[in-house]
Amino acid sequence: MKNNREQWSSKSGFILASAGSAIGIGAIWKLPYVASTAGGGAFFILFTILTFVIVLPILIGEYIIGRHSQSDAIHSYRILAPGTRWNWLGKLGVFGSILVLAFYGVVGGWILSYIVKAISGSVSHGDQAQLALQFDMATANTAIAIAGTAIFLLLVILVVSQGIRTGIEPMSKIMIPALFLLFIILIIRSLTLPNAIEGLQYFLRPDFSEINSKSIIIILGQAFFSLSVGISVMVTYGSYLDRKISIPAASTSVAVINMIISLFVGLAIFPAVFSFGVIPDAGPGILFVILPSIFNQLPFGTFFFIVFLILFFFAALTSSFSLLETATAPFIKKLGSRSIATWIVGGIVFLLAIPAALSLGIWNEISIFGMTIFGAFDYVASNIILPLGALFTAIFVGFRLPRQLLWDEFTASSRYGKKLFMTWLLLLKYVAPIAIILIFLSAIGLLPF
C-alpha cells in the first residue's frame, strides 16, 4: 500500500537494528545461569530448536502486522481489524515497552557508573562479598542512581529523536558489529585461562539427564524472551520495512544472529567461571559482582572488565532504541513532530524510572507484590505482558488475518513455497500458543513443575 512512512535504508540496517533490539542485557546475564541448571550443551540444543520452532514464527507474524499496516503498534490493529478492540494489543505493547525501558534505564545507569568506577580503579576487590556490598552501596546512592539513569535515557532519546535512517539504523550498524568484536576479544581471553577447557566442555557437552519438564519450561522461557517478541517492538520495526525484503529470510537472520550471541555469551563466561571455581548466577550479580571478582585476578583484568561493561552498555542501548521507538511511534503523527513525541515519551519513561531506581535505596521498604518497585516492573513486563502479548499476537495473525494477506506478505520477495508457508502457519496457530500458555502458567505458579 502507498505510504510516505520512513523506511530502513537497507536490509542489513533493518536486520542489525532488529538484532540489537533482541540482544538485551537480561538475556545475556540470564543465559549462564539457565545453561548451568539445564544440562549445559543440552540447554543450547533445546534452546536452538525452541527458538526456531516457537519464537521465530511469532517474530514473522509481528513483522507481517507492521509491514502490511505500515503503521505504529496501536494503529496497526485498527487498520487490520477495523471496528474491533484488537488495538488493545498494541496499547499493551506500548505500555510494556515503557515499563521495560524504565528498568532498562536504571540498569543502563548502573553500567555507566561502573564504567567510570572501573576506569578510575575503584572496582578492584577480588572478594565477592566485598563486591556485592560495593554494588549494594552504588545502587543505593540516590545521586548516582538518578544521574546514571538520566544520562542513559538522554542518549536513547537523542538517537531515537533522529529517526530510523539517521538515528537508530546507523547506530545499530556501529554497535552490533562492535558488540561482536568485543565478544571475540573476551572469548579469546577467557579461553586462555587455566581450566578453561573444562568450562567449555561443560557448556557444549550435552547432558540430557538434567533435562526435565521444569528445565524445558525454563529453556522455552529463555528462547521466548530472547527475540523481543510480545510487546509490539517488531511490529513497529516491521512497519518501516520495504516489500523488497523477504520477511522470513530477514527474521531467520535475526534469529541466527541472536543464537550466535547466545553462543558467544557461553564461550566468554563459562571458561572464566570454571577457571576460578565460581557458580554462574542470574541477574545483575553476574555483571557487577562475579565478573569483577574474576577479572580483578587477571593480568590487565580491569581492561577486560571495561570491555565487558561497554559490551553490556551497547546491548542495553540497542534494546532501548527499539523500546522507545515503539512507545513513541503512536504519538508522532498526533503531535506533528518526532522530536517532540520522543522527548515527551522519554520524559515519562524517566519519571517512571525514578521510583525504580530509588527502590534499591531510600525507597527499598516500598513493596509491590512482595517485590521492590524495580523488581515489580521487571516481573510484570517479563512474566505477564510479554507472554500475553505474544500469545494474542499469534492468535491475531493466525486466526484473524486473511490467509491471502499472510501468503502475500510471507512470499513477497522470496522463493518460499506453500509447504513452508503452511508449516509456519501451523506452528504459529497451534504450537506457539500452547508453548506460551505453558510458560505463563509456570511463571505464575499454576503448574506442578
The fraction of the chain above a pLDDT of 90, given in percent, is: 47
Tell me, what's the pLDDT at 93? 94
Closest CA to 243 of 12, 70, 9, 413: 413
In this structure, how many other beta carbons lie within 10 angstroms of the beta carbon of residue 418?
10
Biggest distance spanned by C-alpha atoms of the chain: 65
- C-alpha to C-alpha distance for 73 and 248, rounded to whole angstroms: 20
179 with 254: CB under 8 angstroms? Answer: no
Q: Is 198 helix (H, G, I), strand (E, B) or coil?
A: helix
- C-alpha to C-alpha distance for 193 and 132, rounded to whole angstroms: 24
In this structure, what DSSP letter does residue 170 have? Answer: H
- C-alpha to C-alpha distance for 233 and 59, rounded to whole angstroms: 10
Which residue segments constitute the domains of the chain, with CATH numbers given? 11-443 (1.20.1740.10)
225-281 pLDDT per residue, tens: 778 888 999 999 999 998 889 999 999 999 999 899 888 888 888 888 888 777 666
388-436 pLDDT per residue, tens: 899 999 999 999 999 999 999 999 887 777 899 999 999 999 999 998 8
Tell me, what's the pLDDT at 356? 93
Residue 371 phi, psi dihedral angles, 5° rounding: -125, 160
Task: Read off the C-alpha cell for 58.
Answer: 511469532
pLDDT band of 295, cuts 50, 70, 90 = confident
Q: Going by C-beta distance under 8 Å and a sequence separation of 6 or more, which residues neighbour residue 369? A: 376, 379
30-79 pLDDT per residue, tens: 788 778 777 778 888 888 998 999 999 999 999 999 999 999 999 999 99
Question: Does residue 439 have a pLDDT over 80?
Answer: no
Task: Read off the C-alpha cell for 423.
Answer: 508449516
CA 12, 18, 19, 25 dihedral sign is: positive
Closest CA to 247 of 406, 112, 116: 406
Max avg pLDDT among 42-56, 192-206, 316-330: 316-330
Task: Read off the C-alpha cell for 112.
Answer: 555507566
Q: Among all chains, which residue has been given the C-alpha cell 538518578?
A: 146
Rounded to two decimals, the pTM is: 0.91
Tell me, what's the pLDDT at 283? 65
214-228 pLDDT per residue, tens: 778 778 777 877 788
Tell me, what's the pLDDT at 1? 43
The fraction of the chain above a pLDDT of 70, given in percent, is: 96
Question: How much is the mean pLDDT over the chain?
Answer: 88
